[in-house]
Chain A
Amino acid sequence: MNHFSTYDILSLTTKLEKSLGDISEGEIQMFSYLACILSILDGKSANTWGYSFIKNEFGSPYSEAINSSLESLFTNNSLILDSEYYKINESSSLKLKILSKLGLYKSRETYLEIATNCIKFIPYSSVRKALFCEPSLKIAIKNKNRRLLLDEESASIHLLYSQFEKLTKALAGNYNNKVIPALVWMSYNTKTQLG
């Protein structure tokens, strides 16, 4: 079991439970992908995220690591499932509190936090639409086959790195909270002012 994807599921479930009440596997896949992209926009390499994503047969970002960690967490009762939506149990919440203090997870916690905070500032449906407009996924959707996303060898990842450089220049270090570049990036990709 990939420990990064396991951590991300626990963290995302806890955060989204507060705003949405519970969380589906699709939502975990979507927000973990968004968090990974936000780490790239913050200057990290896609390779350092700890697990990879593909574009699945339905044209959506999907991580096998997330899927298998989710199954394990459900099997060992760390998550409670109710009609396809998950909630975290008390002992897993405590476990998460301890894990989140470890240096290993600290930086990804920032991106998981920003990804879920976006829906506090703009509508959930706009966050989803913006994610599906990001260059790597947009290019992959045109291809019918399953395809690796955010692949360091592909040309599309360089479009993201280039967006990151422009974003850095545009914001000129004027803002501390990383939700601001995230929202600007989403507006830019959808060609719609969000906020």
Chain B
Amino acid sequence: MFEEEDEIRQMQEIVKNLYVARIEETYGDEGLRITEELTSAISNIYVHLDRNIFNKIVIIKSLSNNSILKDFRSITRIAQFSILSGKKIIIEILDNNTFNVSIDSCENESIFSNDAIVYLKNETAEYFYIKEDLEELTKIGNLDTYFIKPTFKSLDEALDNYKTSQARTSKCLILRKNVWKGGISSNRVVFKPGPEHIMRDSLFQFLDVYIRGNKEVMREQNVNEKNPIDIRITWNYTNHVALIEIKWIGLSSSGSGYTGKSAITRSNKGAKQLANYLDLFRTEQPEKTTRGYLVVFDGRRNNVVKTDTNVSFADGFHFENKEIVYNPDYSHTRRDFEKPIRFFMEAKY
């Protein structure tokens, strides 16, 4: 009996903090219907808009047929959001798939909340206005937004996109904040000590939310009793499994690191390790069709020491096109080993 009461209390606590419930209580059924249109539009906008550029993103949808923004420019094609920049953006969703947009205006978004459903995203969290109050959305892991559209149908496509859109300029906040010595404002010259788990978390989160279909992405999964693989992806309607092993090369601020020959040795060791994992996994789960992916985060710079905070353009890009030579090349000798992927990570200039 007490257990049942406790469970009911837990459910009541959840509903108390649920933004969708707050919206229905305040704006009624129609308010929730409009929120549904608003959140769908946010997901579509976020496919194009660079969320990291703006300190504040406000997206609103009027509760009536009247538009609300007074000083705006019109956007008729959603792809146009990709070229916008500024500190603060206010976007009004209109009914005909067009948008009114105001950039860096002084208007306080709270004034819209009597006539519209108002969504706000700043650098730390996401909110909905419930009249004058801000209802914060509970963070899910390291996700910066609830409104992500899963885009990629294959792991290869997702890894390729991560390489250019996230790793290259450390766009992913997890990388930008935590992987470089000096953090978010650094010039991305040397890594913090032991950056591998941060790289794993960044890639894990990206794959978890962006790959379509039915799959389970898990971190630090044991291949057998002793050996953990960095990321394992299991598909729910096929017998496919992907094992991802992550390595980093470059210099860390502790002075340890892998540049020159040691970077090649380190990458080859990673390949050997993955090949062993694939063998172990095949022994443990022979019914699965398994593919192995070696991912190398490459932060190598030329002529730098652990205390450096700047690097010349030439030295920063010295390793940009220097691919690692694998010997043996398991991607040629084994059918379950994909071509190793190198994510070159640029310095900031």
Contacts and interface: CB of A to CB of B under 8 A. Distances in A.
B143 interface: yes
Interface string B1-13: 0001001111110
Interface stretch (A46-54, A90-98, A118-126): A118-126
B274 to A, nearest CB: 23
Contacts of A102: none
A184 B20 CA distance: 10
A188 B150 contact: no
A135 interface: no
Interface stretch (A19-27, A104-112, A149-157): A19-27
A57 B10 CA distance: 34
B233 to A, nearest CB: 12
B214 A180 contact: no
B265 to A, nearest CB: 37
Q: Which residue among B18, B32, B143, B208 has the maximum number of chain A CB atoms within 10 Å of its CB?
A: B18
B40 A120 contact: yes
A62 interface: yes
B239 interface: yes
A59 B236 contact: yes
Contact of B236 (A19, A60, A83): A60
Contacts of A171: 11, 15
A60 B215 CA distance: 10
A121 to B, nearest CB: 5
B153 A169 contact: no
B237 interface: yes
Contact of B150 (A29, A84, A125): A125
B18 A58 contact: no
B20 to A, nearest CB: 5
A62 B209 CA distance: 23
A192 B140 contact: yes
Nearest to B4: A166
B149 interface: yes
Kindly state the interface size class of chain B when it binds its partner: 35 or more
A170 B238 contact: no
Contacts, number: 126
Given A83-B153, A177-B24, A123 B36 contact: no
Interface in B124-166: 137-138, 140, 143, 146-150, 153
B239 A58 contact: yes
B213 A124 contact: no
A180 B14 contact: no
A193 B32 contact: no
A195 interface: yes
A54 B285 CA distance: 22
A85 B154 CA distance: 12
Contacts of B11: 166-167, 170-171, 184, 188
B209 A175 contact: no
A29 B237 contact: yes
B212 interface: yes
10 contacts: A19-B40, A26-B213, A26-B237, A121-B39, A122-B146, A166-B8, A170-B11, A177-B24, A179-B20, A193-B138
Interface of A: 18-20, 24-27, 29-30, 56-60, 62, 83-85, 117, 120-126, 128, 132, 166-167, 169-171, 174-177, 179-180, 183-184, 187-188, 192-195
Interface of B: 4, 7-12, 14-15, 17-21, 24-25, 29, 32, 35-36, 39-40, 43, 137-138, 140, 143, 146-150, 153, 208-209, 212-214, 216, 234-239
